[in-house]
Chain A
């Protein structure tokens, strides 16, 4: 049972344009959400997070939006750069429970120069 879903396995975007990565979750207990970026042969690195009490969080070119009623979050990257090409994982967390941090299956972003 995949509680965090990233339905797009891949995404291609032109350099300078906006990249939008989507993530859906099913467990309403989740109260904290994170995005990670992963390059080949490296572990994931933390990118940005959002608490369920907010609906938006920005950090430079990266903005995460949370729609709790729809159980949906998205990561916007503006403007996209070739160095952003990586696999992006969304993850959800609530303190307690069987699984601590639940990850999605990842979306591979390719930014075309």
Chain B
């Protein structure tokens, strides 16, 4: 069974631009979560979607947004990029939100903001 895929794998943007990252969950998984990983900060939770609805949101500014489509694929968008947004963005999917031990991560999108 195919794993979680994320596109693109690498991205370079400049300050002020916006970016859209994509995540395709494992087939049959309906819950998708997004995390930001930066050195020294671990994985910071961004948001979680289940059945096209945002179920939880982390402590990030409104520049960070996301959505989930009917096929469970998810996108996250960051507008007005700042240098501090440079990070590895990880997407994870699970069958349902409560089955966290069945959460599988994608390889991530490395975003660099210049």
Interface residues of A (CB under 8 A from B): 2, 4, 6, 32, 34, 36, 41-46, 49, 89, 91, 93, 95, 97-106
Residues of chain B at the chain A interface (Cβ within 8 Å): 4, 33, 35, 40-45, 48, 55-59, 90, 92, 97-98, 100-108
- Give the docked Cα–Cα distance between A41 and B33 (Å): 19
Closest residue of chain A to B102 (Cβ to Cβ) is A46
> Which one of B43, B56, B59, B101 lies within 8 Å of A44 (CB-CB)?
B43
Q: List 24 A-B contacts (CB under 8 A).
A: A2-B42, A4-B42, A41-B107, A43-B4, A43-B90, A43-B92, A43-B104, A46-B101, A46-B102, A46-B103, A49-B100, A91-B43, A93-B100, A98-B56, A99-B56, A100-B48, A100-B100, A101-B103, A103-B42, A103-B43, A104-B42, A105-B40, A105-B42, A106-B42
Tell whether, in the assembled complex, residue A99 and residue B59 are in contact, meaning their CB atoms are under 8 Å apart.
Answer: yes
Contact between B33 and A100, CB atoms less than 8 A apart: yes
Contacts known (A93-B100, A98-B56, A98-B58); A43 close to B42, Cβ less than 8 A: no
